[in-house]
Structure 1
């Protein structure tokens, strides 16, 4: 059973005394959100564009916990979240939400059509690209998987066949285990499960289950973003070639300042998707700005790879639902402050960091040993694909930015 924790305050109202302030506050929030988005780097999935070794030793988590810029980013985010919560609790905050409702009403009224069309278009694009399944860095030589993805696209337009499309998504993820490490595929598990859950829940007639479809999708996206952001803390050297090739991405910041703060931004914006209405909607807008700005430097691959996330973010930004909803499978400790309260922001962020960081470093150690990886020569890369080397061929020249592991 879903736990619904209602925020303080009633349905949005727009009293005459707040009409003038509404315009000023809305403009201020828009400027703040745009400024936050502009100050964050365009984020692409590093495995699509740079060399990586999945079983290489990650940087010790202590290196992040003692990094001044990591804590600077956390402090800025907490200040923004708390300020947004303060505004949201007032009548003017509810007026802002009401304004967002009016702007996004045409999209939200066709939300299922939009999401199903986006899923279909995504799998048609994957079919057209060919040689990959689910995401740009999962490459395959089998044409069967390309045609399977075209079939998935065809199945999303009927409620009767939507469960078939969901099963196809999960099956493709499982089949990828033949060639790719389980830990690698965890990057795409939450997103795949979230999209598949949406398709299944959207196809059922029971309204109690069907109303959870967007909640499952939103949580899947949020977890996927938070999980993938940990690469910036575990493997900052993977990002060095991108930063050197495209220095404008850092907005003039030094490389070792930019990478941890980029990781914080991605993690906390994903976390923001789980929070109160104004926080999650502003987080979704900021993420959309970031993903769209990433298309210019990284091209179509980035657009196709992030298409499902971007489509779902549009719906998060448009969602007029009030309160904070938690899936039934998520059991929150009773000792935590009530979600939506001021104290819940630092407490919730701390819990999210502890759970996901422990999972990332812990699972890596479980799969690749207590030493977090195995020895690899400097010339070994995973930047390209072949039958003999699913994670990359032997290179004759060491890859820039890929240091040997000892």
Structure 2
């Protein structure tokens, strides 16, 4: 039987060995031309080992997490965070406004690399910002319509597969639209899903375009902890993909949000202001995830009753999701 000290040790070791480069957006920090790696060089023996090993570890998590949730300290944190849920909409509204201000002043909206945008975008952005600061549902919904329209134009200009990196913006605008309606209960499930998908999509980028990532490692002196860059890239990609996958399935959400916050702070120290601008919206989302947890969510794994069924489901589901996203990215991105 695994006691709580072993569980704590496993979690802490996982956090300690998490490469803080994992969540960096590759395209922000390199001028290297994207060269797609051959599928034979992506699906290597090490890639297969990481896939099987990761699927096995994830299959164990649904059996460990319920025991962790019974710890006194975890229950105290849960109860404390529950008290702050009433502020979620205010945090999201004002946080989005502040992020938009930072982006407008930096010369780009939604993402640092999206510079070729209409000249009237900043005007609409300032209108949306002002409306978001007005504590009124109608003003918030009007801002959401403006931002949703702007985001749709960006998706049209840069392509849906490029903008999947920033899929988390879509549920934010929809949350503003459905606030105060009967559909409000779907807000956070949609946000978790889109954020998790975004992280998975960005993770696969490191596998398909490894030369860009290697260029960043060399030019920014990114520590690889003794691993060859080619191996380190695969490990970093898997860690980022795991985080996204776990957010989607609703496991360890608060812990993951805290871990990601620490990782993004580390990458900010490494990459500077560009990293801060690019990930500012993610920081707001992570604050919400820390507060919200998964109170609304019944993980899909609970469909299966026995431990063996749950482990098999998670094991096979992870492999299926990884293969699907990798192949879609390789074909279309």
TM range (shorter): 0.7 to 0.9
Instruction: Decide which of 316, 319, 333 is 1:347's aligned counterpart.
Output: 316
Instruction: Decide which of 227, 249, 260 is 1:275's aligned counterpart.
Output: 249
Partners of 2:64 and 2:240 lie apart in 1 by 23
Query: Residue in 1 aligned with 2:331?
Result: 362
- Contact 2:206-2:213 at 8 Å conserved across structures: yes
Query: Residue in 2 aligned with 1:128?
Result: 105
Q: Deviations over 1:37-56 (max 9, x none)?
A: 3x453532111111255xx5
- Contact 1:233-1:263 at 8 Å conserved across structures: yes
Could you say what secondary structure the match of 1:342 adopts?
helix
Name the structure where helix makes up a greater proportion of residues.
Answer: 2
Query: Residue in 2 aligned with 1:210?
Result: 184
2:239 paired with 1:265? yes
Q: Residues 122 and 199 (structure 1 numbering): CA distance in 2 closer, same or farther, change over 3 Å?
A: same
- Contact 1:225-1:267 at 8 Å conserved across structures: yes
Using the size of structure 2 for normalisation, the TM-score is 0.85
Deviation at 1:87, TM superposition (A): 2.2
- Contact 1:155-1:165 at 8 Å conserved across structures: yes
Deviation at 1:299, TM superposition (A): 1.1
2:222 paired with 1:242? no
Structure 2: segments with no counterpart, 5+ residues: none
2:81 paired with 1:108? no
Partners of 2:20 and 2:92 lie apart in 1 by 27
Bigger drift between 311-320 and 228-237 goes to: 311-320
Query: Residue in 2 aligned with 1:44?
Result: 24
Aligned length: 324
Instruction: Decide which of 130, 135, 139 is 2:115's aligned counterpart.
Output: 139
Partners of 2:57 and 2:13 lie apart in 1 by 9
Partners of 1:225 and 1:134 lie apart in 2 by 16
- Contact 1:187-1:228 at 8 Å conserved across structures: yes
Could you say what secondary structure the match of 1:252 adopts?
coil
- Contact 2:145-2:177 at 8 Å conserved across structures: no
Alignment of 1:52-67 (within 5 A): 52-53=32-33, 58-67=36-45
Partners of 2:30 and 2:82 lie apart in 1 by 40
- Contact 1:133-1:172 at 8 Å conserved across structures: no
Deviation at 1:177, TM superposition (A): 5.4
Partners of 2:321 and 2:305 lie apart in 1 by 15
Root-mean-square deviation over aligned CA pairs: 2.9
Using the size of structure 1 for normalisation, the TM-score is 0.71
Partners of 2:188 and 2:74 lie apart in 1 by 19
Alignment of 1:52-201 (within 5 A): 52-53=32-33, 58-68=36-46, 70-90=47-67, 92-95=68-71, 97-130=74-107, 132-140=108-116, 142-157=118-133, 158-176=136-154, 180-188=158-166, 190-201=167-178
Structure 1: segments with no counterpart, 5+ residues: 1-20, 327-331, 365-406
2:295 paired with 1:315? no
- Contact 2:253-2:289 at 8 Å conserved across structures: yes
- Contact 1:115-1:312 at 8 Å conserved across structures: yes
Partners of 2:27 and 2:263 lie apart in 1 by 18
Partners of 1:43 and 1:118 lie apart in 2 by 21
- Contact 2:131-2:142 at 8 Å conserved across structures: yes
Which protein shows a greater Rg? 1
Deviation at 1:181, TM superposition (A): 4.6
